[in-house]
Amino acid sequence: MGDVFPRVRAAVPGATLDIAGKGAESLGAMAKGEGVRVVGYVPRLETAMMSATVFIAPHRFAAGVQTKVIQALASGTPVVTTPVVRSGLEPIPEGVIRVAEDAESLAAHAVELIRDPSSATALGARGREWARARFTWEAALEAFESSGDAAESASPAERLATAGV
């Protein structure tokens, strides 16, 4: 946040960074600066995301699926993120999110999307289509059932190892 947004703001002086979500108020000094607004808790996070021009997830470290990124995608908000976040979304096709490894490149992608609303809209639409097709109850049930098939064919030792015993 501290490395990316100042670069965006330098290129697009009117840009704002809205920090929404429970606990956002506790960010303290990290959430201060020109154009930074701490919104805090919002009853429906997807409503806040739908009003955003771009969602930036600059995580250098992450584990598993990044739920907020999926929410942004499902909301139709274009996403700019890092390879570590992308890996938690795999398999994800090219052209659904923008990926960059450093603050300068993350900011460059965000600035490009801010300055080119048609590209931002197209990226957001591809993200929404992918997220809404991939993250459904049916898809989750299918994945769960297929993991059960693998577990049923495993030996008792393999099942215990998988369970962490």
Q: What's the pLDDT tens digit per position in 80-129?
A: 999 999 988 888 999 999 999 999 999 999 999 999 999 999 999 999 99
CA distances from 101 to 86, 90, 93, 95, 151 (A): 11, 17, 18, 16, 37
pLDDT, tens only, 51-62: 899 999 887 776
Residues 6+ apart with CB under 8 A from 107: 4, 5, 7, 8, 11
User: In the prediction, which pLDDT does 40 show?
Assistant: 82
Rounded CA separation 141/165 (Å): 25
* Domains delineated in the chain: 45-134 (3.40.50.2000)
pTM (2 decimals)?
Answer: 0.79
Mean pLDDT, range 10-27, rounded to an integer:
85
